[in-house]
Amino acid sequence: MNQAFRSAHKVGLEDYQNNPEVRLQVEMQRQRDYELGQQVAAQLERQIHH
């Protein structure tokens, strides 16, 4: 699991758990990725229904 986390977020799971600054950065990036995904999905949805 640590390897997958490191691969996805460029930081180890232990660092994420023990460092609030690292955790904040990872969560902010996750939020940006989620919002971008929602925008892409909405755009595709609009294209399908035109």
pLDDT digits (tens, 9 = 90+) for 1-50: 889 999 999 999 999 999 999 999 999 999 999 999 999 999 999 999 87
Q: Contact at 8 Å (CB) between 37 and 48?
A: no
Look up the pTM and report it. Answer: 0.81
pLDDT value, residue 9: 93
38-41 long-range Cβ contacts below 8 angstroms, 24+ apart: none
